[in-house]
Amino acid sequence: MLSRVANSIYWMSRYLERAENVARFIDVNLNLTLDMQGQLDEQWAPLVNTTGDFEQFAKRYPSPTRENVMHFLTFDRENPNSILSCVRHARENARSVREIISSEMWEQANRFYLLVKDASRDKFLLENPHEFYSSVKMSSHLFDGITEATMSHGEAWHFLQMGELLERADKTSRILDVKYFILLPEAQTIGTAIDNIQWAALLKSASALEMYRKHFKQIDPFKVADFLILNRDFPRSVLSCLDRATLSLHAITGSSEDAFSNKAEQGLGRLLGELNYTQIEEIIHEGLHEFLDKLQDRLNWIDDAIYESFFTLRPLTGKSSHLTPDQ
């Protein structure tokens, strides 16, 4: 398929997944706030720290109030990672590959965008935001379902999968990281009721609470991290995402799974291999935040490698001098 088209499909699904996850971020904080009534001040700065956009936020907003942060992450057009920006980019990408995806998928991408755009004009929306954020999540799930039901599992689908899964791995790691940024009044709160409530809220925002309970029953910080990073069966865990992204990457190149034919395969394969043979104790020992930080760096590196391996292609013969016409 065309390199440009592969690039657009990859980013279409990345942006949709990103929009969904930004909704999850906000949701976790809303949940925390509800659960914490009076025991802790509302904390909204951690959200912009986690998404890595704090600098940009600080430039244009006086303080990290609930209202400011929610607006910044949801409807701010100048923030390229706001939900509105994400669905707009996703739709633009979908529009540029309309002939590749099914018309049902395009229609859903279009509806998703219209939903958020219409909501951005609703002045009272952020006063009672739960319904909106869950409809963002559902719109993204609906897109995934439609994709599953209407698109052939060919090359285009594999690029779509890669975009979605790499984005999700990154965002699950960041959801887990929210906890790191939340300033606790004293170290003693670790292991207390408040602590447990926070971890449960965090699981909930990754749609992981029920699945976690089936697996581990009791809330325990190490186990939560274990579940969200290393669980093999939960579809939002980092390991599960990278495992499936690797399958798609090899389906695209056709090279066997125990070898690599480009930098992307090398980077992703190495990371997956390491996670496959890692225990949560080692991660905790290294420091959870440090581990997640490094993980995010490596995912960025893999994204760059995918760009280089598939989306840029330059002619190699002498005739290519045509590319720079004489003046």
Interacting residues with another protein (CB under 8 A): 1-6, 92, 95-96, 98-100, 103, 106-107, 110-111, 114, 155, 159, 252, 310-311, 313, 315, 317, 319-320, 322-323, 325
Query: Is residue 45 within 8 Å of residue 73, measured between CB atoms?
Result: no
Q: DSSP character for 161? A: H
Comparison of 107 and 131: residue with beta carbon closer to another protein: 107
Comparison of 19 and 201: residue with beta carbon closer to another protein: 19
Comparison of 2 and 58: residue with beta carbon closer to another protein: 2
Min CB(327)–another protein separation in Å: 8
Query: Is residue 146 within 8 Å of residue 104, measured between CB atoms?
Result: yes
Q: At what angle are helices 66-74 and 83-96 packed, to 10 degrees?
A: 0
Min CB(261)–another protein separation in Å: 11
Comparison of 6 and 83: residue with beta carbon closer to another protein: 6
Min CB(90)–another protein separation in Å: 13
Residue whose C-alpha is closest to residue 137's, from 33, 228, 17: 17
Q: What are phi and psi of 161, to 5 degrees?
A: -60, -45
Min CB(97)–another protein separation in Å: 8
Min CB(27)–another protein separation in Å: 27
Q: How far apart are CA 8 and CA 80, in angstroms?
A: 16
Dihedral of the CA atoms 152, 157, 158, 163 (nearest 10)?
Answer: -160
> Three-state SS for 12?
helix
Return the sign of the alpha-carbon dihedral for residues 215, 50, 284, 244: positive
Comparison of 98 and 130: residue with beta carbon closer to another protein: 98
Comparison of 183 and 313: residue with beta carbon closer to another protein: 313
- Give the amino acid at 272: L
Min CB(166)–another protein separation in Å: 16
